[in-house]
Structure 1
Amino acid sequence: MKTIRQLHPLLPVLGLAAIVSLAGCATATKHDPRDPWEGWNRGVQKFNDTLDDYVMKPISQGYQWITPSFVDRGITNFFSNVDDIGVIANDLLQFKLLQTGQDTGRFLVNTVLGVGGFIDVASRLDLPKHNEDTDQTLGAWGIPSGPYLVLPFIGPSTPRGALGLAGDTAANPINWINPAAIPYSVGTLKTVDMRADLLSATKIVDEASVDRYEFIRNAYFQQRNYLIHDGNPPLDEQFEEEMDLELEGLSPTNFNTENEQEPASEQL
Structure 2
Amino acid sequence: MDNSRIMPGRLVLVFMAVAGAAGCASDTVKQETASAGTPPTHSDSRDPWEGWNRGAQSFNDGLDDYFLKPVAKGYQWAAPKFVDKGVTNFFSNVDDVSVIANDLLQFKLVQTGQDLGRLIVNSTIGMAGFIDVADKLDLPKHYEDFDQTLATWGVPAGPYLVLPVIGPGSPRGVVGFAGDTAANPINYITPASIPWGAGAGRYVDIRADMLSATKIADEASVDRYEFIRNAYFQQRNYLIHDGNPPLEEDFGGGEGIEMEFELQGVEDRATEAREKEGKDEAKPASP
TM-score, normalising length: structure 2: 0.74
Percentage of matched positions with identical amino acids? 70
Which residue in 2 is equivalent to 1:8?
16
**TM superposition shift of 1:235:** 2.4
> Structure 2 stretches of 5 or more lacking a match?
1-10, 20-39, 255-287
Superposed, which structure 2 residues align to 1:166-245 within 5 Å?
Answer: 166-237=178-249
Instruction: Provide the secondary structure at the position in 2 that maps to 1:83.
Output: helix
CA distance in 2, matches of 1:40, 1:32: 14
The letter of the residue matching 1:73 is K
Q: What root-mean-square deviation, in Å, do the aligned CA atoms of Structure 1 and Structure 2 show?
A: 2.1
Instruction: Provide the secondary structure at the position in 2 that maps to 1:183.
Output: helix
**TM superposition shift of 1:45:** 0.3
**TM superposition shift of 1:8:** 1.0
Instruction: Provide the secondary structure at the position in 2 that maps to 1:161.
Output: helix
The letter of the residue matching 2:121 is V
Which residue in 2 is equivalent to 1:260?
none
More helix by share: 1
- CA distance 1:5–1:149, change in 2 (3 Å): farther
CA distance in 2, matches of 1:110, 1:49: 35
Which of 155, 165, 175 is the aligned partner of 1:153? 165
Which of 128, 135, 143 is the aligned partner of 1:131? 143
Instruction: Provide the secondary structure at the position in 1 that maps to 2:190.
Output: coil
CA distance in 2, matches of 1:5, 1:86: 12
Is 1:95 the counterpart of 2:107? The answer is yes
CA distance in 1, matches of 2:103, 2:226: 31
CA distance in 1, matches of 2:68, 2:109: 39
- CA distance 1:108–1:238, change in 2 (3 Å): closer
**TM superposition shift of 1:4:** 4.2
Deviates more, 1:230-239 or 1:134-143: 230-239
**TM superposition shift of 1:202:** 1.2
Which residue in 1 is equivalent to 2:62?
50
Does the CA contact (< 8 Å) of 1:135 and 1:160 recur in 2? yes
Q: Per-residue CA shift, 1:32-64, capped at 9, x if unaligned? A: 100000000000000100110000000000011
TM-score, normalising length: structure 1: 0.80
CA distance in 2, matches of 1:161, 1:137: 10
CA distance in 1, matches of 2:70, 2:151: 36
Is 1:164 the counterpart of 2:149? The answer is no
Instruction: Provide the secondary structure at the position in 2 that maps to 1:178.
Output: coil
Does the CA contact (< 8 Å) of 1:10 and 1:220 recur in 2? yes
Which residue in 1 is equivalent to 2:283?
none
CA distance in 2, matches of 1:168, 1:132: 10
Larger Rg: 1
Which residue in 2 is equivalent to 1:247?
none
> Structure 1 stretches of 5 or more lacking a match?
12-27, 243-268
CA distance in 2, matches of 1:62, 1:168: 29
Does the CA contact (< 8 Å) of 1:5 and 1:154 recur in 2? no
Q: Per-residue CA shift, 1:212-267, capped at 9, x if unaligned? A: 0000000100110110011111124458xx9xxxxxxxxxxxxxxxxxxxxxxxxx
CA distance in 2, matches of 1:194, 1:49: 16
Q: How many residues align?
A: 224
CA distance in 2, matches of 1:198, 1:82: 20
Which residue in 1 is equivalent to 2:29?
none
